Structure 1
Amino acid sequence: MTGQILNGNSMDDYPLTLTSIVDRAERFHANRGVISRRPSGDVNRTTYGEVAGRARRLAHGLAALGVRDGDPVATMLWNQSEHLELYFAVPAMGAVLHTLNPRLFPEELSYIVNDAQDNVIIVDESLLPVFETIRDSREFAHVVVVSHTGDIPAGMLDYESLVANNEPIEWPVLGEGRAAAMCYTSGTTGRPKGVVYSHRALVLHSLVVALPDQFAVSARDTILPVVPMFHANAWGLPYAAALAGAQLVLPGPQLDSESVLDLLAAEHVTMTAGVPTVWMGVLSSLDAEPDRWDLSALNRLIVGGAAVPRSMLEGFDRHELSIVQAWGMTETAPLGSVCRVPEDLDQASNSDRYNYRIRQGVASPLVDIRARDDEGNLIAWDDTAMGELEVRGPWVAASYHHGQGAASFTADGWFSTGDVVRIDPRGCIRICDRSKDLVKSGGEWISSVDLENQLVAHPDVAQAAVIAVPDDRWGERPLAVVSLHPDVDPSVDKLRDHLAQDFAKWQLPDRFEFVSEIPSTATGKVKKSELRKRFTTEP
């Protein structure tokens, strides 16, 4: 007779909680540096050990203010050491870290703090003017200020006193299914929606982020997340860095290209991460002064949030800096896929390698993908068929806070991303468009992303966006909105001829509109809703 073991095992039922990451940072990486640039430009240097110790005191102080299990604690902070202390303290004490994006409009912020029911909020002194715009929209029980001058407005509490005046606590034992953190979507379509992450989700996310073919985070790294800590968990980098023992450089609010480059060079950063709009500015600065900054330590730039054009890849390659493209969403915590060139392309032509690198990559370990066409059929992975990408996995949302947006989740448990993709036989994704941004002209699809990438490859173009506008004959036609570099004269013929090298005549935009700046969301994505409103109502 053969014995069967179906429901039993010998493994410890060890909970996957962020407490284990905080404890590891404190115990094994206590002397690794955490460098913060203040709004003034001064640099503060501390360590994981000091951050974790202060987090224990901070948790005690928050509990004294009435923060209980499951309560949201709102933050309105930059990438700074105090924000990392809250990343540690709030989930480890059993509360829920709710990061607020200070770049949102007051109406959006007011909606979010009320939807989340925030009662305690921690605000950087430099962001108090932003807080004042929403102060009357909700009656906060406590407002805590991270002050750099020592001035605390009446009725508010001092963050440093909250830390200094309390003893460190022992972290409670938590279940891995407990809520740990909360982010809201950017609200590009409808109201922002809350995504609540469990401890288990963020621990697994941190482990996968650190894998060699993902972001490859190690104790030998010095990481500068340009992506804000108030946006999708800073792509998981604070927790992954703490887990691995990587040194962390937090840039504060100064994210202009020269300030970023100064910090990359001064701190010998090995890895950085941010959206394409940031890196386009950095590339322009490097092209203008290629010998000004020593970036010899920097071996990878993680870029996501929008498709990376080939011209950007080529531009950074000129400076011997390598971009690794990734894709994700707030709903995926956010890592969904990473584009690493496979071994069999190592000896391929530059053109073939660039054709691969402009893609959004293969699904990250533990993430499943599929795509459906307009008729609801699963598409073939032949790099020809197009469909809306659906994903599932241990850090992918199964619902929104309060059950909003239920239509985004399929009956069998997949999240519908809204991204229209092709998938090649390797499983490598190429995002063709957002479903709402595809142009359907005469029954044929035109990818606005492909047109935009080709436009920004033109030396005159700083930014470009393509939108669909109604057309009596064809249903929709593409319209290109273009921002040019300084001292460049607009030329529709020049841009149309440039596009005609790679696109059929029927795919070319009928109209070109030139603007000084293309509007973007608070997270750096082109705000096409504003462009549609402007250019489909104006003559």
Structure 2
Amino acid sequence: MALMGQMMSAPLLISSIIKHAARYYGSTEIVSRRTEGDLHRYTYRDCELRARKLAQALGALGVKQGERVGTLAWNGYRHLEIYYGVSGMGAVCHTVNPRLFPEQIAYIVNHAEDGYVFFDLTFLPLVEGVAPHCPNVRGWVAMTDRAHMPAESKVPLLCYEELLDAQDGNYEWPQFDENLASSLCYTSGTTGNPKGALYSHRSTVLHSYASAMPDALGCSASDVILPVVPMFHVNAWGLPYSVPLVGAKLVLPGPKLDGASLYELFEQEKVTFSAGVPTVWLGLLQHMQANQLKFSTFRRTVIGGSAAPPAMIRALEALDVEVIHAWGMTEMSPLGTASKLLAKHHDLPDAERHKIQEKQGRVIYGVDMKIVDGEGKELPWDGKAFGDLLVRGPWIIDRYFRNDASPLVDGWFPTGDVATIDADGFMQITDRSKDVIKSGGEWISSIDIENVAAAHPAVHMAACISAYHPKWDERPLLVVVKKPGAEVSREELLQFFEGKVAKWWIPDDVAFVTEIPLTATGKMQKLRLREQFKDYKLPTA
């Protein structure tokens, strides 16, 4: 007969993370740039007490276990309190991306059936526009104190600090099943309506453990960590959980994400580690280059959301910052892979080492992956074969919120990405399956084309999309935004590709534009570009 282990059974609950931080790292600081404009400082001990008061306040408002509580907020200490107060009491923390269209926000709030929505003052106009379309929201809570409450509002508002002041904080975090829902994130909805990924306490705690590991995000109590990635973008890649879990000092940048504001905060708070999408680093690097600045403490950053152009990785390395490429999805909580080098790679020539760093990296324990062809047959890990990327693991969704049809294929989640995997397990995204360019039956990676273009000194941003071709079906069209004051011709750019990619991969034409549309999470919106250029006549056609 089976012999059971004789260990304590303690549920993996999100409240245990903030309890641990308050008890063992109680005096460690959390610094936030507030929407009110000033810097706010307090400790993990203060944060946990206020999260308990918030849990009491929610109980007093009649919020029940399993009920969804929405947020429209920046990275700040009050948002952090909501993460822990809402999930800790057994309700579901639903972060809403304020960069979505108002119609999408109303759709998401209604689909999630949010009972209350907490918002930063910046988003008052948004709330006033959306509230009439969200009849089931019982209350809108302004995340500020009485002194800063709006003088007038079209929507009746509750005041965050007043809710907390009415409570004594004498509250024990409840114990319950670790498989209960803890938080809800919607995909950015590049196709159709956004879909909800409903995480559990168990999946979140496991993800927090794994993402803090040295070969993942590598968080430590000796770090000062500033997540630039917003808390409304897949829970800031889990950092609001993994940072308190290790007891590191946490710096939250609030609404000011421009290069100058970030640089000032990095230097002043002695930030050692950060995480964000490529577009953010672009702004920071431009500010630093223009003012000939250096970092004094910043040494590591994780870049994800979309592939970091090699030129950006080089620019950060020149500033003594190690770039860790990472990949994941909302459906994966989000972390799947990170590009930390193996011991044998450290002695490689720079060019070879860079090639490895440009990949999205190896899975972290807990995630399993494979690539398959059109028939679902598994492909070899030789770094050459590319196919559809599938994943599975304890923090990857089984199905979408309020949708019974499972997206899984034989127990694997199809990511919609096309990738290669090399013999060491380093995965590289070559494209989204809908963005890959199919030219004469062969595939061309739009990401590779964009990376070459982004390395040209005159290029600020580049997107590669398919354009119709009567003979080849599709050919690459390069869409480019020039750097301010820079000049480059179509011919010069196309020449720049020679010797860098296969000859038949070189784009057939270049279209110069003033801007490339971005999604709510800062990724290039290729769907809109394809619509914009759908009748484009290639010179080769």
Q: What secondary structure does 1:500 align onto?
A: coil
Please, which of 184, 190, 193 is the counterpart of residue 192 of structure 2?
190
User: What pairs with 1:54-203 in structure 2 (closer than 5 Å)?
Assistant: 54-139=50-135, 140-147=137-144, 149-152=147-150, 153=153, 155-168=156-169, 169-203=171-205
Equivalent residue for 1:514, pick from 508, 512, 521: 512
CA distance in 2, matches of 1:125, 1:316: 34
- Alpha-carbon distance, 1:496 to partner: 0.4
Match of 1:212, SS state, is coil
Q: 1:499–1:404: structure 2 CA closer, same or farther, 3 Å change rule?
A: farther
Contact in 2 for aligned 1:490/1:514 (Cα 8 Å) = no
- 1:490 to partner: Cα distance: 3.7
Q: What TM-score comes out, normalization by structure 2 length?
A: 0.96
Distance in structure 1 (CA, Å) of the matches to 2:311 and 2:140: 46
Shift of 1:452: 0.2
8 Å CA contact retained: 1:440, 1:476: yes
Per the alignment, residue 409 of structure 1 pairs with 408
Alpha-carbon distance between aligned partners in 2 of 1:504 and 1:425, rounded to the nearest angstrom: 23
Give the drift of 1:375. 2.4
**8 Å contact kept, 1:205–1:236:** yes
Instruction: Give how far 1:39 is off.
Output: 2.3
2:443 to 442, 445, 450: 445
Q: Tell me how far 1:537 sits from its aligned partner.
A: 3.4
Q: Secondary structure at the match of 1:501?
A: coil
The residue correspondences of 1:151-300 to structure 2 (distance < 5 A) are: 151-152=149-150, 153=153, 155-168=156-169, 169-291=171-293, 293=294, 295-300=295-300
Query: Match for 1:343: what amino acid?
Result: A
CA distance in 2, matches of 1:260, 1:195: 30
CA distance in 2, matches of 1:447, 1:53: 50
CA contact (8 A) 2:31 2:41 kept: yes
The question of whether the paired residues in 2 share the 8 Å contact of 1:467 and 1:479 is answered with yes
User: What CA distance in whole angstroms lies between the structure 1 residues aligned with 2:449 and 2:261?
Assistant: 31
What is the distance in 1 between the residues matched to 2:129 and 2:472?
45
How big is the shift at 1:290? 2.5
**1:324 corresponding residue in structure 2:** 324
Distance 1:321 1:27 in 2: 32
| Corresponding position: 1:373 with 2:395 | no
Contact preservation (8 Å) 1:464, 1:481: yes
2:350 corresponds to 1:345:
no
CA contact (8 A) 1:65 1:142 kept: no
CA 445–355 in structure 1, closer or farther in 2 if over 3 Å, else same: same
The secondary structure found in structure 1 opposite 2:161 is: helix
Partner of 1:307, secondary structure, is coil
Aligned AA (2:202)? R
Matching residue's letter, 1:409: L
Distance in 2 of aligned mates of 1:360 and 1:162: 44
CA contact (8 A) 1:22 1:88 kept: yes
Q: Name the structure 2 match of 1:497.
A: 495
- What is the Cα deviation at residue 405 of structure 1? 6.6
Q: Deviations over 1:319-373 (max 9, x none)?
A: 1111111101101101100000111011110001001000000011110001111
Query: What is the one-letter code of the residue matched to 1:162?
Result: L
Paired residue total: 531
C-alpha deviation, 1:147, in angstroms: 2.4
CA contact (8 A) 2:467 2:474 kept: yes
Write out per-residue CA displacement over residues 444-468 of structure 1, whole angstroms, 9 at most, x where no aligned residue.
1100000000100010101000011
- Deviations along 1:366-388, one digit per CA (max 9) or x if unpaired, are 10001111222111001111111
The alignment's TM-score, normalised by the length of structure 1, stands at 0.96
How far apart are the structure 2 equivalents of 1:230 and 1:64? 26
3-state secondary structure, aligned to 1:401:
coil
Find the aligned partners of 1:471 and 1:55 in 2 and give their Cα distance: 58
Residue in 1 that maps onto 2:423? 425
Aligned counterparts of 1:279 and 1:285: Cα–Cα separation in 2: 10
**CA distance in 2 between partners of 1:354 and 1:8 (Å):** 48
Separation in structure 2 between the aligned mates of residue 405 and residue 271 of structure 1, nearest angstrom = 40
Distance (Å, rounded) in 1 between the aligned partners of 2:329 and 2:49 = 32
Bigger shift: residues 190-199 or 499-508: 499-508
Q: Deviations over 1:61-105 (max 9, x none)?
A: 111111100000001111010000011101110000000111110
Separation in 1, partners of 2:379, 2:270: 45
Please name the residue that 1:477 is paired with.
475
The one-character-per-residue Cα deviations of 1:183-227 (angstroms, maximum 9, x if unpaired) are 000001111000000000010111111111111111111100000
- Deviation per CA, 1:293-338: give whole Å up to 9, x if none: 5x22111011001111211111111111111111011011011000
Distance verdict in 2 for CA 1:239–1:141, change over 3 Å: same
Counterpart of 2:133 in structure 1: which amino acid?
S
CA distance in 2, matches of 1:167, 1:232: 32
- Which secondary structure state, in structure 1, belongs to the residue aligned with residue 94 of structure 2? strand
Query: After the TM superposition, which segments of 4 or more aligned residues of structure 1 sit over 4 Å from their partners?
Result: none
Q: Which moved more, 1:118-127 or 1:447-456?
A: 118-127
1:244 and 1:509 mapped to 2: Cα distance? 47
> Aligned to 2:173, what secondary structure does the other structure show?
coil
Structure 1 SS opposite 2:497:
helix
Q: Percent identity?
A: 44
Q: Which runs of 5+ in 1 are unaligned?
A: none
Q: Distance in 1 between matches of 2:350 and 2:296?
A: 23
Q: What is the rounded CA distance, in whole Å, between the counterparts of 1:498 and 1:39 in structure 2?
A: 44
Letter paired with 2:164: V
Give the counterpart letter for 1:521 in structure 2: T
CA deviation string 1:466-507 (max 9, x = no partner): 011222111111111000101122401111011122123321
Segments of structure 2 that go 5 or more residues without pairing to the other structure are: none
Q: Counterpart amino acid of 1:496?
A: L
- Contact 2:35 2:121 survives alignment (8 Å): no
State how far apart, in whole Å, the 1-side matches of 2:404 and 2:437 are.
Answer: 28
When residues 7 and 69 of structure 1 are mapped into structure 2, their CA distance, relative to the original with a 3 A threshold, is: farther
